[in-house]
Structure 1
């Protein structure tokens, strides 16, 4: 009898590097040969000099690929470097209009422009031409919204495997999801950072300690691992039916491959329905909650910046505005003269 997995194991999910390579291939196929050669060098610079993550490189390649595809239709052929150098502001506006008409949000258009400008700077730096109109186009305004954290009680409920006790799922899967969510709220990790952990990074079962996290731009930081989070991970490891080699992903999918972020997102969606939470209660909202609750308890803003892995303090300062908003809401609700 044949086997479902002829190579001796379950199929592995596509990694971020795989997705980045796929987006790079789509970009190169949309360009004329000389432009494709320059784009490949640009992507290599993003990876090796700027040390951007595979996920960010995928987004850059995908956005620039869309620009090239639209220009190909606009120019009547795959764009060559000489043609890029003769673009007018109207050509760039036409690209944005196509994406806008396709339903792209302002944030997507800003990202698309950022990718195109990054590539243009690379061309100019290498002496391959200057795409001047990109600098003359103003990026669409993106409305700034505050993060929407959940309450302490709701965050704890989301991280509690008992919240899903009635679901027809294997105990190890419930323990796995609880451990990932505990890392998001208890350590402030991004979901990609949590799913990128390996067993050798985790302290002894149930013990407090520190973990080294690889964040955006391959930057590392040390994050404390408190006892409840460590215990949740230990519960998952004890129940997991798969071998967990030290250098392989800690969190596994139902078939043994690396756990997909989408599975965690779906688990949180199910729980927020059961708990009556709004759609804003996402896995990333737990990271916001980590920062907001620390700040509300008197946490130092600079320390919170380091724990979150923010490159700039200004990124972390958004939580001070959030805390002030909550404070004013409580004041107006409770003060007799409010």
Structure 2
């Protein structure tokens, strides 16, 4: 994402001096976060500024943000409550708060209404994993569902890789072909943190089968996954491909690339109680995040218990 694109988008919401400050904030994010994350943060702040312009009937300036009060932020949260999911609003709250912290750090404002506010409470929903049977059937059938043989093999290898070690979609997309020579994969995760994950031979074989037919350049520094036109395979295309396979195979709408990561975690928890190992594999900063998957397993256990226990009838 180029800053120029963001400038054009913001022209009608803030004055020139504010644009310069906003560009400085964006520049401070690059290198620390992925392009996908920076885009999400900028979108959240954009929507916040759009709201302020309408709410205050004025172009947004630093002076306006300096005098912003808690009631104004609560009005924004109330507006989002009607139009967005709670989880999305929680992320937006964090994004805008991060922007205000930047403004304070660089002496553009002295105080922030976010200093005395807590983020909206979010109800943690249990991830909906796919069954192992659903996943293996999908891997088996994907190559036959594509008109272009190498594309079918690419998609199979891509989704197998995500499921095998619970990668985030962006973690898989940023890999280069040089990773194939290693016994383990070095993954660059959220916040630039690196972790090493095992490289299953079945996945390595699927990747080699795909690359053998792939018509684009080979070499350690070239993308591991190519798009149809020779660029790096992208998030939107990957999600669209799985959506297409999902419809053909009659899989639930919950079958997304991220659901494969959830499924990996859930299936590992079902067969092992080593939460620390699963935490390291997934790259979770907090063990509490990994513990969500133990709740999924307990829910399954309760369902099975009620089905088979003679006193539950």
TM > 0.5 fold call: yes
| 3-state SS of 2:253 partner | coil
| 3-state SS of 2:30 partner | helix
Aligned residue in 2 for 1:86: 67
Deviation digits for residues 6-45 of structure 1, max 9, x if unmatched? xxxxxxxxxxx44x76346634763223333332333333
Instruction: Give the root-mean-square deviation of aligned CA atoms.
Output: 2.3
Count of matched residue pairs = 312
Matches within 5 A, 1:283-322: 283-322=257-296
Deviation digits for residues 192-215 of structure 1, max 9, x if unmatched? 1111111011137xxxx2111111
- Separation (CA, whole Å) in 2 of partners of 1:334 and 1:58: 49
Conserved 8 A contact 2:266-2:297: yes
Matches within 5 A, 1:205-224: 209-224=183-198
Aligned residue in 2 for 1:173: 151
| 3-state SS of 2:303 partner | helix
- Separation (CA, whole Å) in 1 of partners of 2:118 and 2:7: 26
| 3-state SS of 2:195 partner | strand
Within the candidate set 152, 157, 160, 1:182 is matched to 160
| 3-state SS of 2:196 partner | strand
Within the candidate set 25, 37, 48, 1:56 is matched to 37
| 3-state SS of 2:107 partner | coil
Deviates more, 1:186-195 or 1:115-124: 115-124
| 3-state SS of 1:223 partner | strand
Aligned residue in 2 for 1:233: 207
Within the candidate set 155, 174, 187, 1:196 is matched to 174
Deviates more, 1:230-239 or 1:104-113: 104-113
User: Is residue 41 of structure 1 aligned with residue 21 of structure 2?
Assistant: no
Deviates more, 1:33-42 or 1:309-318: 33-42
- Separation (CA, whole Å) in 1 of partners of 2:147 and 2:261: 26
Conserved 8 A contact 1:301-1:317: yes
- Separation (CA, whole Å) in 2 of partners of 1:169 and 1:242: 18
User: Is residue 148 of structure 1 aligned with residue 122 of structure 2?
Assistant: no
Conserved 8 A contact 1:93-1:137: no
Structure 2 residues not aligned, in runs of 5+: none
**Of Structure 1 and Structure 2, which has the larger fraction of its residues in helix?**
2
Task: Quote the offset at 1:241 in angstroms.
Answer: 1.3
- Separation (CA, whole Å) in 2 of partners of 1:57 and 1:24: 14
Structure 1 residues not aligned, in runs of 5+: 1-16
Task: Quote the offset at 1:137 in angstroms.
Answer: 4.9
Within the candidate set 137, 159, 162, 1:157 is matched to 137
**TM-score relative to the length of structure 2:** 0.90
Task: Quote the offset at 1:164 in angstroms.
Answer: 4.8
Deviates more, 1:150-159 or 1:21-30: 21-30
- Separation (CA, whole Å) in 2 of partners of 1:232 and 1:75: 56
Deviation digits for residues 93-119 of structure 1, max 9, x if unmatched? 333344455x22222222222222112
User: Is residue 256 of structure 1 aligned with residue 230 of structure 2?
Assistant: yes
